[in-house]
Each structure stands twice: as C-alpha cells, then as structure tokens.
Amino acid sequence: MQKQTLTMSDAISTAKMLSEALPYLQRFEDAVVVVKFGGNAMGDDAAMAEFARDVVLMRQVGVNPVVVHGGGPMINDMLTKLGIKSEFVRGKRVTDKATVQVVEMVLSGLVNKRIVQAIMDAGGRAVGISGKDDDLMVCVADDPELGFVGRPVEMNVQVLRDLYKAGIIPVVAPVATGMADNETFNVNGDTAAGAIAGALQADRLLLLTDVPGVKDASGQVMTQITPDEIRAMTASGVISGGMIPKTETALMAIEAGTRAVTILDGRIPNACLLELFTDHGAGSQIRSTVPRVTPRVKR
C-alpha cells in the first residue's frame, strides 16, 4: 500500500496542533486518568483500535491511564444465546446466580482480553484484571432488588499503582468480591470506575458514553456543571434513565477526591485526546472544591 503524502499545509497544521498541546501535556504529566470505556464502540473493531491508540498515546506522553470497561451488549448477547432473561431496575442489571456467572465469564474473559490485545496491538503494555484480583473492589449488595449487584465499600488500589508505575496500563473488569461470603458481584461499570477514580485520587475520570453529555431542560449539552446542579436536575427529572448512574458516579468520585469528571461522547474520534489535550474539550465536566473520602481505602 502506498503511503499517503501530506501537503506542506497539512504538515504545518499538524505541527501547530502538537505545539498547542504542549501546556496540556505538561499539565497532565504523571496524572492519573481513569477512563470508563463502554457502549457500542466496544463492538466495533475500528473504534476499539482507535481507543487503544489514544490510551497508548496518553501513556507515551506521561499520563497514567487506568481503563475500566463495561460490556452490556456482549453480556446481553451471551445471555440470549443461553436463554437467560435480563431485567433492569433504575438502569442497573438484575443479577441472579446464573447471570453473575455469565457476567464474570464475558467481562473478565472475552471483553477484558479483547481490550488488552487492542492496546498491545497499538504498541502499549497492558494487563487485564478484575475487581476480584488482589481484592481490588470489595462489595456488599447494592439493593435486594438487584441481586448480585455490588456496591464497593473497600478499595485496595495498590495493584493499579504498581502496574502504572511500571509503565503498564491496567484494564479492569467490573466484577468484585463480596465482603461477607466472598460472593461474586457484578458492579455497574460506571460505579466501578468512579470508585477506582476516587480511591486513586485521580486527576480525571472520563466516562465515555453514547450521548454528547448531560443535557439541560431545553436539550442543550451543559459543558460545566456543579454537583448541586446535578442533584437539582435529577430531582426534577431532567436527568433520567441511563444518565442517572453516570451522574451518581460523578458525584461519588468527586466526593471521594477525584478532581474532575467528564461525561463525554465516546463516538467522537479521539474523544479522550480532545478532552485532555485541546482547548475545545468534550462533553460535560463536573467539578467540586469540597472533597471527602469514601469508600474506605485499605491500601
């Protein structure tokens, strides 16, 4: 295949963009950025490869990315093949014993290793783990209506620090250990990402979704939102459906010490780079100056 030749104008534009990114590269050097990857992009090979390149570039310029993934569509496919029906309550999957076994198989196996391989193919180093490894996430049942759906109450994030300090990108499947009887719990991917970001005191949490961001009552995307505005919009019904667990995650992560959370459209090409390294940014950013620590971080 013949290489594409850039014109001088194209080359100058590329060089200009790189130059303009310098202050952002300096700003995020050695920063911890937790990225929740999910949605339909996970089922598209080209989108997966692009995401992997972006994460490898982040690592290459000194950012410490931690990837937390979902896998709802893949879980749905497998449950359908096995004849197991799914129900959802407030945007979260009801998980019985049969379902949690399928969830662990799909998330910790198929999905996790596919992302790891994509990062490796892009020239990075990655290790896939689940929340059960080294007791990364220890949970209690979130709600009796949800069955084996966990709420993290203890975070042991040293394994993540060990990996990214060694130049390895951790890729985390949101499956966790139960506090009482070592049960296996399914954890909402957004919830897991928020708990990890809070425990790591991350500089940023990026929640990649299939929507442009949080919209106000008129349908316009809000680029900057306060926690109080999130609570008011949820109470009034402006924030509803699948956006509720995402904004709940943002509030929890900020209260635990994450500096800022951005809910952004993962379908936009190079969405993470656009958010971190350009003036434009992407999606809706939520920030607070009053952090508090929860859940308890053991190590």
120-134 pLDDT, tens per residue? 999 999 999 999 999
Quote the pLDDT of residue 141. 92
Q: Read off the pLDDT of residues 224-265 as tens digits, 9 standing for 90 and up.
A: 999 999 999 999 999 988 888 889 999 999 999 999 999 998
* Residue position matching structure tokens 């937790």: 34
Mean pLDDT calculated for residue range 2-29: 74
Q: From CA 61, how far away is CA 181, in angstroms rounded?
A: 42
Quote the pLDDT of residue 172. 98
pLDDT at 110 over 70: yes
Quote the pLDDT of residue 18. 75
pLDDT at 45 over 90: no
* Closest by CA position to 148, among listed 194, 92, 189, 110: 92
Kindly report the CA angle at 179 between 75 and 192, in degrees rounded to 5? 45
Residue 251 one-letter amino acid: L
In the CATH scheme, what is the code of domain 27-297?
A: 3.40.1160.10
Q: Which pair of structure tokens corresponds to residue 163?
A: 């990996």
Q: Which residues are annotated as a binding site for substrate?
A: 71-72, 93, 186
Kindly report the CA angle at 127 between 123 and 132, in degrees rounded to 5? 160
Q: Which residues are annotated as a binding site?
A: 71-72, 93, 186
Least confident of 19-23, 69-73, 104-108, 160-164: 19-23
Domains in the chain: boundaries? 27-297
Which is it for strands 88-89 and 64-69: parallel, antiparallel or unpaired? unpaired
Instruction: Name the pLDDT band for 297 (thresholds 50, 70, 90).
Output: very low
Q: How many residues does the chain have?
A: 299
Q: Which pair of structure tokens corresponds to residue 267?
A: 């379908």
pLDDT at 296 over 50: no
Mean pLDDT calculated for residue range 50-79: 93
Q: Read off the pLDDT of residues 158-203 as tens digits, 9 standing for 90 and up.
A: 999 999 999 999 999 999 999 888 899 999 899 999 999 999 999 9
Average pLDDT, the chain: 88
pLDDT at 294 over 70: no
